[in-house]
Amino acid sequence: MSLRPLTADGSRSLDRLLPLLLLPVALISLGPVARLMLEGIGFGRGLTTAHLTAVLARPSTLEALSHSLITAGGGTLISIAIGASFAFLVALTDVRAKAALVFCLMVPMMIPPQITALAWMQVTGPSSVMLKLVGLAPPLGTPQPLHSPGGIILLLGIQHASIVFLTLRAGLRMIPADLVEAARMSGAGPVRVWAQVVLPLSLPALIAGGSMAFVTALGNFGIPAMLGIPARYATLPTLIYQRLVGMGPGVLPEVAVLSLVIGAVAILGVLAGRLVLSRGGHGLSGLSSAPLALSLCRWRPAVEIALWAFIAAILALPLLALLATSLIPAYGVPLSVDTATLKAWHQALFVQPVTRRAYVNSLFLATAAAAVLMAVCLPLAWLTSRRPTRATRILDALVDLPYALPGVVLSIACILAFMRLPFTGLSLYGTIWIILLAYLARFLVVMLRPIQSSLAQLDPSMEEAAASVGASLGRRLRTIVLPLAAPSAAAGAILVFLTAVNELTVSALLWASGTETLGVVIFNLEDSGETVMASALAMSIVCLIVALMAAVQAGARHLPKGVIPWQS
């Protein structure tokens, strides 16, 4: 009995070809950002700092910068207050239904910010359908209270509370339970344990979470656009948007500088967070497996009621208001059994060409981004974890950049990079492809990290065993690595899909007539006074998102730890 001899050529050539993948990935994900940096110093027209000084000296720039810092800073404080309270209570105490609480706290993060803003605007203000329903609406003519810096701060705080929550909870899980037990054996009560043991040990995670929330809030476009533009309160992202929309591509060098400013502030925030995290090592050791469960005793029902009431206030209330608005026949008409109608839903989903187009565009973009990124990230993750070289390490460190940078920065960068494709006469500006490229750059890490973490947990001997029985690299990737990494790739794909469907900031600057995305259309509908239809469309998106999140949740058991962001 003789076996067919094996040839090794296929495997070896694939081993050589695979690193070539790094080049397009680097070009698409890092190329635009690099191009933007060059633009700031007058790339192509001779080096100059003229733009830099001109833009920086303008009062509107400094005003927008200070508005950005104020709203992002204030929002971060609220995020920390909400996120930290939830994290401490969920991670340290014996409150019940933790999974449901966490899921509900995550929903605001997944809902597009402009929908959050739209929904909250339906809660307050003189035209609130819900307030009219209960007869609490302020008289007509009173200003919408959310059209103010305070409103922006509040909503930014709610939107990003889950970031603080997730980071802090991950940090709290690193605290060995026996440290707390030792403190209690020494006679410390729960409050003293929290203040003197838990809080100091989790402070680095808290600060890191805060810095991430700050950077995300800084780049947020949906909320300041919906609430700030009507109040003539410009932050850097909305200033860039208004300039570019008002003046056209001629102001590109100028907005490039503006986006560099906001990018610099964001990077400072990221670096500060990393510094704190790397310094924060108290050298925790011991078993961290046993979760802490300090007993709340008789306070438990009260705490649980408070937590759920809060969830109701930040999640159920605005969504109900949004739903109520979507069911009235026209803006201003009160909602009752008689007036309730699905007309706006029908109009938004089936009649209006622009919303249907937006659905098609957004679903296409999200699907394409998820599919392309899945195809790219599986081999890429395998390269970075199994064949690390200097090139993969550098790329691995830098691919976070397009995701961490504010969306406007990336979109300006993409306009600059793809306005005139190098060596061709083609321009991608105004086509759907520029949005897709921007999404690919932005969401690469969203897909890459879950796959990397599942490969890191995959015993390399699985692949070595396949190699030893004669399987070539291509076959190993297909029959061993792919099936085993598939669950996390699927979760990553759903996350990319979720974030891409939600996305407004990047597409707000890249869309053209015909390539609108859902985020853009909601913003435009609200901007042109079609609040009812905007609400119906927004509500349909919320349903889609919650359904997708539930799908991921349902598959949670089959996923490695750390893949689902809200279950890290």
Partner 1 sequence: MAELSFASLSKRFDGAPAPALDAISASVASGEFVALLGPSGCGKTTLLRLIAGFERPTAGSLTLGGRVMADATRFVPPEAREIGIVFQSYALWPHMTVAGNVAYPLEVRRLPRAERAARVAEALELTGLTPYADRMPAQLSGGQRQRVALARCLVFEPRAMLLDEPLANLDLALRASMQDVFRMFHRRTGATMVYVTHDQGEALALADRIAVMDAGRIRQFAAPETLYREPADCFVAGFVGDGGVVSLRLGAPSGPGRRQATLLGQEVTVRSDSATPTHACIRPEDITLSDTAPLRGRVLGCAYLGGRFRLTIEAAGETLVAFSARRARPGEVLGLRIAEPWAFHDREGTVLMDRARAHA
Tokens 């990230």 correspond to what residue?
A: 377
Q: Which of 222, 234, 218 is nearest to 270 (CA)?
A: 218
CA–CA gap between residue 214 and residue 212 (Å, rounded): 5
Q: How far is the CB of 551 from partner 1 (least distance, A)?
A: 21
* 3-class secondary-structure state, position 46: coil
Nearer to partner 1, 472 or 517 (CB): 472
Nearer to partner 1, 2 or 424 (CB): 2
Q: How far is the CB of 466 from partner 1 (least distance, A)?
A: 7
Q: How far is the CB of 137 from partner 1 (least distance, A)?
A: 58
| Burial group, residue 2, by CB count within 10 angstroms (0-12, 13-18, 19+) | exposed
- Which amino acid is residue 378, in one-letter code? L
Q: How far is the CB of 387 from partner 1 (least distance, A)?
A: 13
Q: How far is the CB of 299 from partner 1 (least distance, A)?
A: 42
CA–CA gap between residue 323 and residue 81 (Å, rounded): 28
Nearer to partner 1, 267 or 391 (CB): 391
Nearer to partner 1, 191 or 469 (CB): 469
* Token code pair at residue 221: 């476009």
**CB count, 10 Å around CB of 253?**
20
Q: By CB under 8 A, is residue 11 in contact with partner 1?
A: yes
- Give CA separation, 385 vs 20, 379, 393, 489, in Å: 16, 10, 9, 15
Q: What is the DSSP letter of 93?
A: B
* Token code pair at residue 120: 């909250």
Q: How far is the CB of 459 from partner 1 (least distance, A)?
A: 6
Q: By CB under 8 A, is residue 390 in contact with partner 1?
A: no
* Token code pair at residue 192: 């003293």
Q: How far is the CB of 376 from partner 1 (least distance, A)?
A: 23
Q: How far is the CB of 464 from partner 1 (least distance, A)?
A: 5
- Which amino acid is residue 155, in one-letter code? L
Q: What is the DSSP letter of 560?
A: P
Nearer to partner 1, 296 or 482 (CB): 482
The strand pairing partners of 398, in sequence order, are none
| Residues 441-470 contacting partner 1, CB under 8 A | 459, 461-462, 464-470
Q: By CB under 8 A, is residue 491 in contact with partner 1?
A: no
Q: By CB under 8 A, is residue 535 in contact with partner 1?
A: no
Size of site (CB under 8 A) for partner 1: 26
CB 383 within 8 A of CB 2: no
What is the radius of gyration, based on Cα positions, of the chain?
25
Which are the contacts of 334, defined by CB distance < 8 A and separation ≥ 6?
129, 132, 133, 328
The phi-psi region of residue 137 (left if phi > 0; otherwise alpha if psi is between -120 and 50; otherwise beta) is beta
Q: By CB under 8 A, is residue 29 in contact with partner 1?
A: no
Q: By CB under 8 A, is residue 484 in contact with partner 1?
A: yes
Backbone angles phi, psi at 294, to 5 degrees: -65, 135
Nearer to partner 1, 356 or 475 (CB): 475
Exactly one of 167, 472, 488, 515 binds partner 1 (CB under 8 A); which one?
Answer: 472
Q: By CB under 8 A, is residue 480 in contact with partner 1?
A: yes
Q: By CB under 8 A, is residue 389 in contact with partner 1?
A: no
Nearer to partner 1, 18 or 70 (CB): 18
* 3-class secondary-structure state, position 294: strand
Exactly one of 6, 271, 305, 333 binds partner 1 (CB under 8 A); which one?
Answer: 6
Backbone angles phi, psi at 430, to 5 degrees: 90, -10
- Site track for partner 1 across 305-344, x = CB under 8 A: ----------------------------------------
CB 161 within 8 A of CB 315: no
- Which amino acid is residue 507, in one-letter code? S
Q: Which of 160, 163, 169 is nearest to 74 (CA)?
A: 160
Q: By CB under 8 A, is residue 471 in contact with partner 1?
A: yes
**CB count, 10 Å around CB of 264?**
12
The stretch near partner 1 (CB under 8 A) out of 233-241, 326-334, 473-481, 538-546 is: 473-481
Q: By CB under 8 A, is residue 479 in contact with partner 1?
A: yes
The stretch near partner 1 (CB under 8 A) out of 1-9, 123-131, 187-195, 346-354 is: 1-9
Q: Which of 550, 554, 504 is nearest to 118 (CA)?
A: 504
Nearer to partner 1, 24 or 460 (CB): 460
CB 95 within 8 A of CB 138: no
Nearer to partner 1, 1 or 287 (CB): 1
Q: How far is the CB of 463 from partner 1 (least distance, A)?
A: 9
CB 146 within 8 A of CB 121: yes
Nearer to partner 1, 80 or 480 (CB): 480
| Residues 249-288 contacting partner 1, CB under 8 A | none
Q: How far is the CB of 157 from partner 1 (least distance, A)?
A: 44
| Residues 166-225 contacting partner 1, CB under 8 A | none
The stretch near partner 1 (CB under 8 A) out of 6-14, 263-271, 415-423, 534-542 is: 6-14
Q: How far is the CB of 269 from partner 1 (least distance, A)?
A: 34
Exactly one of 44, 187, 250, 483 binds partner 1 (CB under 8 A); which one?
Answer: 483
Torsion of CA 361, 365, 367, 373, to 10 degrees: 170
Residues that bind partner 1 (CB under 8 A): 1, 3-4, 6-8, 11-12, 459, 461-462, 464-473, 475, 479-480, 483-484
